[in-house]
Structure 1
């Protein structure tokens, strides 16, 4: 008869295997518009590797190739599809600013607060995000917000390297799913923030062409300026940040793929907290985003994998309909006319330990006035939930982790644990219940975030001061996420990063 110790060892092995197999579980309901996956029972618990996660807080900057062509994820590009490596800013030594995890954590939380405040401001005014119905107006505030928002408002989390101009000049740009503009700093630069690469000089590019004042693009801008026949923009904010420059058409190079006549902002005077990248690649749902401009060439589709913290691998950003994976669980995109840049999804509930938390589905609804709802955002780190939903969700998690030693709250977090000395711990699963049936169960590392390098972890969710919910990049890490703008769906999985 097997000994008790042997049975315990066998049980631990089975638990670890189960945690590996169920770290990401997507169980969609069968429907005409959603691919059918084999339903999986919801695991109640999974193992969280404390030691490995703490080890990941020790910064090991990625060696990043200098030339954009070296940033291809693979060398077998096919027509209509190209794939780029994606890096978190903490992995790039010139951007991280500090080798101490607590300092990086505090800086990230400050950026996150600014980002959430920025999104809230954009959604609080009737026209702040512009109106894209009928004649597709394009308002100055939306244009200016997008131009400045990228890094000044805290979205500078994930970077890719592209070529700008002809011949192409390598530049780091931030990707931002909530912005509708592509922009870079340009010479002559009377006032520019410090960036890692030389500032782009349009005079050295054979493909640069300023947009005329009479063009349709310029006419979409309210209060657009005109200088020597070229369309100018000038946007300022109460916090002192601003950008001024020329609207232009330029060639962008992604690996070996060349995209001509992309409308970009060429900023000659910029001020703000911009952390070192040359500019921003807007991936939002609006008319002027990179995805919107290239709808015909990419089919309005892209897919990304955000690099997981503490790993040596890079993430990826892929464009084209071929980037959409077979077997993903698809959730309908919800359109908010007040905020066409943002990708809204229908969330119906939350689960902890395989049990649905008692939260009214109405809390997550987008109202007819464009209030509330649930936004997927690459620029926000920590998922925000309306206060009543967050508190019920948090309390359900705390009730199932009474065996873990608690720690004092840190920053925006009020549910923290002292896991010093633990190799791994068992934690309840956390799931998002989407409208229509799909259920996304998160990996354990997307639930608890290390706030220092000695074992303090916090529940990686926070309360929202408004009715808006935001699914942040910590919860998206390691999961393949696909956006089909043309058919209005967001897909989860089936691949992991």
Structure 2
């Protein structure tokens, strides 16, 4: 009996620890180096790359990309758009004030779309998705991929966004376009380009994002939360993702846009709607994708379609009929310094979404207050500092080359525990979280907290997963 009991305890131990995604060791404090700049002019190598592939090597298509992610599908490098690995010519980083102001626009817009939804009745597990007109402030989007479009493939540098479905690029000749890194996509130069007719199924599927007809060709329009918009011809062409090819990829060929001031060529929608890249390629790569957002602009990550599911801690994926583009999760608790905070589970009942475009994680007011208080208690050795925009738990690290931080862990339904990387706890000397005005607003897991983790969106199996230290 004694040996059986020991075996049972051992099995329980390993079962418990398999539900924890660690970023570093499991302890109550972690150390963050602050003595060196994170926006260095040198691009670091992929952490898990094979053959020591250089992260910022800018190759043109066709491009064979090594498999450094957990999946066997199509994988492409992912870069911070302002970092030294980015193919974009403009490297100037926006100020923190600018980033937080734009981030607040995006978060507020997303929360307005969910304001009538109640988690108990509206948010549920479901594989069904439908198109949505939900848009967001693009200014906060930070990560880009490079793809090939057309035959022969023309290089296009595109923002990624899990909060959008319709993908688009600026096309030649457009009447109103912003300047971009690569030449405008020219449909006339592609032998595989085809605009959709107004009576096509693809055009009907656009729903409210349809914009009528022009010369018998289907027109689309996407309007985002900050008032920016893009409109043009809804089309299809061949898409190159590394060494993989996607035929008849549906996208918007933008002829007129407003409100954009970056150097990107367009946007790749990774949302849950029918028009997204993920939905379109489900038959080829499977209905799952993952990405790893790098911790700094000088390092790189990846985006994988057809991601494998092994090695992840997982929590059920939730979907909302009111805004089906988004991927929801159930945050249940928060731990600071290894101790779970006294937050009633009902505080999280409105629900939480994963969003690659929101920078700062938004928590219900009660949860954020408890987190802020506990974190301050663990940071007594550092003097407080004035608030920085929406970040109000800030510290003075003058003269410090490294700082000791209380660990912060997010606990999700199903028992998944995600121990955040130190870079996901502190942003510019402040706790990298913000509180909603009350407990009824939607929670958002932003990209700061997602950095260094491979985040899995297994739509087919209804799960979101986390794997620490992936990039």
Q: Do 1:186 and 1:199's aligned partners in 2 also have CA atoms closer than 8 Å?
A: yes
Aligned to 2:317, the other structure's residue is in SS state strand
Task: Give the conservation status (yes or no) of the 8 Å contact 1:68–1:170.
Answer: yes
Aligned residue number for residue 120 of structure 1: 111
* Matching residue of 2:164: 179
- Rounded to whole Å, the distance in 1 between the matches of 2:168 and 2:376 is 44
Runs of 4+ aligned structure 1 residues displaced above 3 Å come to 27-31, 34-42, 57-73, 75-80, 92-99, 133-138, 234-240
Determine whether 1:429 maps to 2:407: yes
- TM-aligned CA deviation for residue 47 of structure 1: 1.7
1:489 corresponds to which residue?
A: 463
Within 5 Å, give how 1:373-412 maps onto structure 2: 373-412=351-390
Q: Conserved in 1, the CA contact under 8 Å of 2:74 and 2:285?
A: no
Does residue 1:108 correspond to 2:108, yes or no? no
Taking a change above 3 Å as real, the CA distance of residues 79 and 205 of structure 1, as seen in their structure-2 partners, is farther
Range 301-310 or range 77-86, more displaced: 77-86
Q: Measure the CA separation in 2 of the matches of 1:337 and 1:279.
A: 27
Higher helix proportion, which one? 1
2:173 is aligned with 1:188: yes
The answer (yes or no) to whether the contact 2:333–2:410 under 8 Å persists in 1 is yes
Q: Write out aligned runs for 1:50-129 (5 A).
A: 50-52=34-36, 55-58=37-40, 60=42, 64-69=56-61, 73-74=65-66, 81-92=73-84, 99=92, 103-124=94-115
Structure 2 partner of 1:469:
443
User: Separation in 1 of the partners of 2:21 and 2:57?
Assistant: 40
What does 1:270-349 correspond to in 2, within 5 Å? Answer: 270-309=257-296, 312-320=298-306, 323-349=307-333
CA spacing shift, 1:28–1:230, aligned 2, 3 Å: farther
SS in 2 for 1:84: strand
Please give the alpha-carbon distance, in whole angstroms, between the structure 1 residues aligned to 2:127 and 2:332. Answer: 31
**What's the CA shift for 1:308?**
1.1
For the 8 Å contact 1:68–1:255, the answer to whether it is kept is no
Write out per-residue CA displacement over residues 37-63 of structure 1, whole angstroms, 9 at most, x where no aligned residue. 7999952112222214xx214555688
Structure-2 separation of matches of 1:478 and 1:188: 39
Q: Hey, what's the Cα distance between the residues in 2 that align with 1:237 and 1:378?
A: 16
Q: 1:444 to 1:288 in 2, by over 3 A?
A: same
Q: 1:236 to 1:496 in 2, by over 3 A?
A: closer
Structure 1 unaligned runs (5+)? 1-26, 127-132, 366-371, 451-456
* SS class of match (2:152): coil
Q: Retained in 1: the 8 A contact 2:408–2:419?
A: yes
* 1:8 match: none
Gaps of 5+ in 2: 1-11, 45-54, 118-125
The CA deviation string for residues 75-119 of structure 1, in whole angstroms up to 9 with x for no partner, is 7999961221110112057758565x6x43233223312221331
2:252 maps to 265
3-state SS, counterpart of residue 51 of structure 1: coil
**Distance verdict in 2 for CA 1:89–1:416, change over 3 Å:** same
The structure-2 alpha-carbon separation of the partners of 1:399 and 1:134, relative to structure 1 and needing over 3 Å to count, comes to closer
- Number of aligned residue pairs: give it: 438
Equivalent of 1:357 in 332, 335, 341: 341
Q: CA RMSD in A?
A: 3.2
Deviation, structure 1 residue 330: 1.1
Equivalent residue number for residue 459 of structure 1: 431
Change (3 A) 1:464 1:170: same
Aligned pairs (5 A) from 1:136-215: 138=131, 142-143=132-133, 145-146=134-135, 149=136, 152-215=137-200
| CA distance in structure 2 between the aligned counterparts of 1:348 and 1:109, rounded to whole angstroms | 26
With normalisation by structure 1, the TM-score equals 0.80
SS of alignment partner, residue 436 of structure 1: helix
Q: Is the Cα contact below 8 Å between 1:29 and 1:436 reproduced in 2?
A: no
Matched with 1:419 is 397
CA–CA separation in structure 2 for the residues paired with 1:158 and 1:38 = 23
Q: Give TM-score scaled by structure 2 length.
A: 0.84
Structure 1 residues 413 and 255, CA gap change in structure 2 (3 angstroms): same
**Is the 8 Å Cα contact of residues 291 and 456 (structure 2) preserved in structure 1?**
yes
Partner of 2:52: none
What is the SS of the residue equivalent to 1:440? Answer: strand
Give CA-to-partner distance per residue, 1:143-192, whole Å, 9 cap, x none.
4x44xx4xx53342100000011111001001111111111111220111
How many Å apart are 1:478 and its aligned residue? 0.7
- For the Cα contact (< 8 Å) 1:37–1:327, is it kept in 2? no
1:478 to 417, 432, 452: 452
CA distance in 1 between counterparts of 2:128 and 2:39 reads 49
- Equivalent residues in 2 for 1:212-251, closer than 5 Å: 212-220=197-205, 221-222=207-208, 224-234=211-221, 241-251=228-238
